[in-house]
Structure 1
């Protein structure tokens, strides 16, 4: 915004206003961007890029008077403003100068004349054309107006003295302005008003009201400037005080030295270093850091960082360790007391302890406990620490995305800390604890690095003896640490990391194991928590069995513990009211309500196209029903149910094999479409083990034979009809038992795996071993 030079008298402006007393009824309207507002007493430079505004200026130039309306745009982000995007009050102006730039845009200069109110937009294309009415009115200079003008000049001079925004040669010119509108507009040009406030002052017509409102704004700004000045003075005073304190501290230090009083902070650190037992490299680093700390100003940020670093170096257990009590018999008793079942896992842990008993310098393997949630993976790590008489530390890796969480942050960062490995060692206070790395399969990768890559060094016995944390920057020996990791599945663990670990699979619990765990561990634990030891509560095995079968459906015992907890809370109310302390099968349903598990997915009777398959998930085995149907068509195949690529390939193989087995049904295949569906479509499904179930459903539809509903199956198929081995068999058999299925079909190649299973896993269920798909079809279509 440029204001008219002094040699252009206000009378000339008034004459111009008189000349436009009868202006054209309609004028082009140009919206101003960039927060600009056109004032009547100012020269307004503006830049135009929009095609509609350029066309409007072309139209203005055609008129000898070059009149136009300048109005501010409310939202600066709108490229093609409508009437709603523009303010109602603008300025009637005359275009003085127009320059077209090489990029097609225009720089223009206009002279504001009078305020106007836009009453109607008569044209929107190709440019805005509007009707308007003048808002100017003549005001006599009263004593009140002169008084407020003087006050405004006084406040403005004070404001500009504080901000230094007005050039010195402009102070005298400001005092000579006698037009109230020009006075306000001139002052506004040297302030940092927002678009809304500028528009507000443009729309105030009465000069006295306008000056009074602007005085309020100036008073507020002056008060804020005073507060800022006071804050600056206080900061400067604080700095001066700090320098004075530094000088006095130096004098006090000198006096203490003269008197022989050596009890400074650095001396305490030196004494601690002298008494402690640290590696030579650590000792040299601490000495060097103490020297640097001694030369720093005590309250400086660098001194805090240096002191924290020294404290971490002191706290790390460089040589401190726990004396192991390696005894296989003692360890066996601890593991048996803490966990029921899990014989394979216990045997592997006892094997390791036996080796340690023979050779205490034997390298510790990295155990990876893999199994569904709630089977006791975390508590096994705690039991291992007890069995070895070592301290226990736990690091949860689930959701970790920052490599610095493992290796630590560089000390150059604000709030830097060592990684979780070093922090855990400091917390337990020894360098040979058992550290459990929980949920190792749930780490992520982000722009901050890959935590799994940082763990490669930690979990490699050949490298971790010289582990370097980014914060400590000194190698630390991790070879004495026993690392145990846990995961629900190994698929999401990077291969390089998995190669460093010894995987021990922890299967889900059988029905009988869950009953024993509830009786021996869960119920006694909950009774202690609820203070019910004095009350002799009796829970029958049948009641526990009903809870397991009808209220929990899991591989572990986590939901079982929650359900038992709810049951005991309900029982506590009964004891208070009726003094009943026995829980039977009947009272379970009274206390917990109707059974929560609905087994509607299992076919209630033999049916065409419905086959019961068995699937493995990270949370245990599941029953998977495969449905197939045929409709009139042209041999198209539709697959639904959120199936993965491998399972879709199994459908393709099954369809080809079905055509081969039912070659006499050529016309049926040619004239029908087939739809294969796996219910519960929201759940992703993948893997090849549903091959025989998919084939059975297709053959059932083609042959028109119903499939037995009391038999489940699992197995991968080939194009020549062979049935291949599958994984997760134990979990699948347990899932079949949970759903009351009495017979299962599995590949003949999995027979050795079944022989290794305990009797309570296979008891009560008949297993059919098959090598060819024809054996499967013979078994399932024999409806009994």
Structure 2
């Protein structure tokens, strides 16, 4: 049975079912007078549905035949009945768990059968609190031995007395206020008259508790509290909670009423507009909502968005409903609403914060790149310690083909997030970043919002590729628009010109890539954490080719490992003579070219009836697959010659060696420089020549530089060369001519 069957708010309980105030008062007085007398054994009525309070009337609605037999036995033998409430956590009655439990001795007032129903109603009156000390079985029923559970009265002196009286006064005031809310019902007057005339605080608490609607657990807690002060505190807590609930209900009801009034007003306005349209002859019937319109309505009902965004979307949808579908503005307004509804306002991917798992993914996808991997693992570590951590803006800087773009995909996979790539190369209009204003034809959101819309999550990994290749134009500077996107202090409220309402980008992990830092504006560069990805060494390229590239291109061309074997010598020659790069992109292209020829060989062999077709790539047969060598690979000469020194050079595709060749011949003291050298290197040659003359003069060398010309050449002659110095290598080459 439901707990509500015991009584409503100050409702069915006290003073009903034929028991008036005088009868209840006399019964309660008899209970107090008999407190010192021995308690007879009572029949036990176990229940986890009802709690009876002393001094109150309660109706037991009985459907279970076993419990009905207990009542029948009590009436037949004229034995008292003990209502024993037990914890609802126990599905069945456990006698051993009920020792020392406080219950109520009751007197059966009436037994009646409800017409047309298999329910027997037994009306009982609560006599007194008793504590169960032991149980025994007699026949088919449980009987118990009891002791009095007398009330622990309120304090009668000192500060505690003042506190107790104040507590009692607050509860009485709460009861009166609650009665005022219930109105002037006749039964309510009778109930309040009985409660108000109760001078005993313990009796007062029991009567109030019996009249209030509350859960079974609360009733049980009040019954088992022998301290009157504890009962008052529980009741006061219930009244405070109910008052807060009433305030919340009133506020909600007011809002609902206002919303209904607004809907009625809007409906009236729409009907008025329809009537005006009819008067001006616009009698075009309104079509039934299409499937797309029904989808919009459904999305709007299930929309989860910030309050500001939700209010804006609802406003735009209402504006859409007033537009005629034949108008030119309708299509643009509908596209705008659909875009707003497609944004995943409160949808977030769950981050995978397992550092070891992240390392495994990064190591499996990329060789080397230690700084990048360490930085991502550090970010995950901080994110696991602080969930609201603002994500850094990482700029992966390095030459082409070193894996900057692909590392972004691996980072997203390690985090368990969606990955979106936004190419910035050649963008010259800031509207591509910030979105187009809706006043323009075919306007659309910026690429950042489109990436979030496509990812369907508010915390994807967005790679801004080739940020160094942004262009400037009279339509605005896209680099300036990116300042807001990449600023952790601003992008929590990024406003796209098309969306026109703030979007939170604070949970997005932005990655950028660049081949050069010189073309990135200073303010934009300051917002990013630069992580340099240098070019790979020869050994790195060989390892990447063996472990990553060869398995990849074999799979892409439908081959298996047994179809192609590549020797290390062949791999070294491909790296040295067929590619000249810092990364491995051209190396992959060369291996793909080899696989295409192997695929043709395999298919031809199968068509000829051969079961197995294999190929082995060696240094000797490499030209058959890739043709003639495309690049020269300079080697340091084993035998040194006077006038030649070897220097180191930097190139965009990696390091190289540089030969500095010098000679002297009879002449007029001229210095001849060839090799297409820049100004700095030419000045270094002049400085080295001056230093050489001083050096030899101090050494007493009899050399007349006025009768000799010195020629300095740096091959290859068609390649421009310049650098910060190279003076030491030039000086060593010149000195070796004369020493």
Aligned partners of 2:689, 2:439: CA distance in 1, in Å? 63
1:458-469 map, 5 Å: 458-469=485-496
Residues 1:420 and 2:447 are matched in the alignment? yes
> Structure 2: which 5+ runs fail to align?
1-276
1:400 to 2:433 alignment: no
Residues 645-676 of structure 1 deviation map (CA, whole Å, 9 limit, x = unaligned): 65555456545544544556898555667665
Partner of 2:615 in structure 1? Answer: 581
1:336 to 363, 366, 383: 363
| C-alpha spacing 1:283/1:666, structure 2 compared with 1 (3 Å) | farther
Classify the secondary structure of the residue corresponding to 1:353: helix
Matched, 1:704 2:737: yes
Please list, as runs of the form range in 1=range in 2, the aligned pairs for 1:343-358 lying within 5 A after superposition: 343-358=370-385
1:562-581 CA distances to partner (integer Å, 9 max, x unpaired)? 11111222223444348343
Question: Pairwise mapping of residues 141-180 of structure 1 onto structure 2 (< 5 A)?
Answer: none
Once the two structures are TM-superposed, the CA of residue 636 in structure 1 deviates from its matched residue by 6.6
Note closer, same or farther for the CA distance 1:600–1:584 as it changes in structure 2 (3 Å cut): closer
Counterpart pick for 1:557 among 584, 591, 616:
584
SS across alignment from 2:620: helix
Q: Does 1:446 align with 2:479?
A: no
Structure 1 residue 617 corresponds to structure 2 residue 644: no
Give the distance between the partners of 1:386 and 1:674, measured in 2 at CA: 61
Of the structure 1 ranges 422-431 and 309-318, higher mean CA displacement relative to structure 2 is found in 309-318
User: Is the alpha carbon distance of 1:324 and 1:673 closer, same or farther for their aligned partners in structure 2, counting shifts above 3 Å?
Assistant: same
Residues 1:569 and 2:602 aligned together:
no
Corresponding residue for residue 80 of structure 2: none
Query: Is residue 565 of structure 2 the alignment partner of residue 507 of structure 1?
Result: no
CA distance in 2: counterparts of 1:466 and 1:648, whole angstroms:
55
The one of 665, 678, 693 aligned to 2:729: 693
Corresponding residue number in structure 2 for 1:598: 632
Distance in 2 separating the partners of 1:562 and 1:425 = 33
Distance 1:298 1:588, change over 3 A: same
Are the equivalent residues in 1 in contact too, given 2:649–2:657 (CA < 8 A)?
Answer: yes
Q: Deviations over 1:186-233 (max 9, x none)?
A: xxxxxxxxxxxxxxxxxxxxxxxxxxxxxxxxxxxxxxxxxxxxxxxx
Q: Is the 8 A contact 1:488 1:619 kept in 2?
A: no
Residue in 2 that maps onto 1:315: 342
Please give the alpha-carbon distance, in whole angstroms, between the structure 1 residues aligned to 2:712 and 2:283.
86
User: 1:526, 1:565 within 8 Å by CA — same for their partners in 2?
Assistant: yes
Q: 3-state DSSP class of the match of 1:276?
A: coil
1:477 to 481, 504, 512: 504
Residue 390 of structure 1: how far off its partner (Å): 0.3
Q: Residue by residue, what CA displacement relative to the aligned partner does 1:658-712 show, whole Å, maximum 9, x if unpaired? A: 4544556898555667665554566554431534334444x34xx625xxxxxxx
Deviations 1:344-370 (A, max 9, x none): 332222222222222222221111112
Give the aligned partner of residue 83 of structure 1: none
Whole-angstrom CA distance in 2 between matches of 1:436 and 1:280: 29
Partner SS state of residue 420, structure 2: strand
Greater CA radius of gyration, 1 or 2?
2
Distance 1:420 1:247, change over 3 A: farther
What's the offset of the Cα at 1:433?
Answer: 0.5
Contact 2:538-2:575 at 8 Å conserved across structures: yes
Q: How does 1:52-63 map to 2 (within 5 A)?
A: none
Moved more, 470-479 or 294-303: 294-303
The one of 352, 369, 373 equivalent to 1:325 is 352
Shift of 1:417: 1.8
Give 1:260-409 correspondences, 5 Å limit.
269=296, 272-409=299-436
Matched, 1:540 2:573: no
Uncovered stretches (5+) of structure 1, i.e. residues with no partner: 1-243, 706-780
CA distance in 1, matches of 2:427, 2:675: 32
* CA pair 480-523 structure 1, distance change in 2 beyond 3 A: same
CA offset digits 1:323-379 (Å, max 9, x no partner): 111110111111111112223332222222222222222221111112222221111
Say what the alpha-carbon RMSD is for the aligned residues.
3.5
Q: How does 1:29-178 map to 2 (within 5 A)?
A: none
Counterpart CA distance in 2 for 1:571 and 1:262 is 60
> Counterpart of 2:621 in 1: which secondary structure?
helix
Alignment TM-score, normalising by the size of structure 2:
0.55
- 3-state secondary structure, aligned to 1:622: strand
The structure-2 alpha-carbon separation of the partners of 1:267 and 1:392, relative to structure 1 and needing over 3 Å to count, comes to: closer
Output one character per residue of 1:514-545: Cα deviation in whole Å (capped at 9) or x when no partner. Answer: 22222221111111111122844332333323
Cα 1:408–1:653 change in 2 (3 A) is: farther
For residue 603 of structure 1, report the CA deviation from its aligned partner: 7.2
- Whole-angstrom distance in 1 between the partners of 2:671 and 2:561: 66
How far the C-alpha of 1:508 sits from its partner, in A, is 2.2
In the alignment, the residues of structure 2 paired with residue 613 and residue 542 of structure 1 have an alpha-carbon distance, to the nearest angstrom, of: 27
Answer yes or no: is the 8 Å Cα contact 1:654–1:694 preserved in 2. yes
How far apart, in 2, do the equivalents of 1:628 and 1:397 lie?
48
Match for residue 488 of structure 1?
A: 515
How far apart are 1:630 and its partner, in Å? 6.3
The separation in 1 between residues aligned to 2:281 and 2:670, in whole angstroms, is: 92
The normalised TM-score by structure 1 is 0.52
Distance 2:685 2:494 in 1: 50
Aligned residue number for residue 252 of structure 1 = 285
Q: 1:314 to 1:629 in 2, by over 3 A?
A: farther
Query: Following the alignment from structure 1 to structure 2, what is the Cα–Cα distance between the partners of residues 644 and 297?
Result: 70
1:391 CA displacement: 0.3
The answer to whether the 8 Å contact 1:390/1:434 transfers is yes
Aligned-residue offset at 1:394: 0.5
Describe the shift of the 1:539–1:282 C-alpha distance in structure 2 as closer, same or farther (beyond 3 A): same
- Aligned-residue offset at 1:252: 1.5
Provide the C-alpha distance between the structure 2 equivalents of 1:346 and 1:264, rounded to a whole number of angstroms: 48
Structure 1 stretch 500-509 or stretch 270-279: which is displaced more? 270-279
Q: Aligned pair in 2 of structure 1 residues 694, 386: CA closer, same or farther (>3 Å)? A: same
Q: How far has the Cα of 1:510 moved from its partner?
A: 2.7
| Cα deviation, residue 428, structure 1 | 1.0
Query: Could you tell me how far 1:246 is from its partner in structure 2?
Result: 13
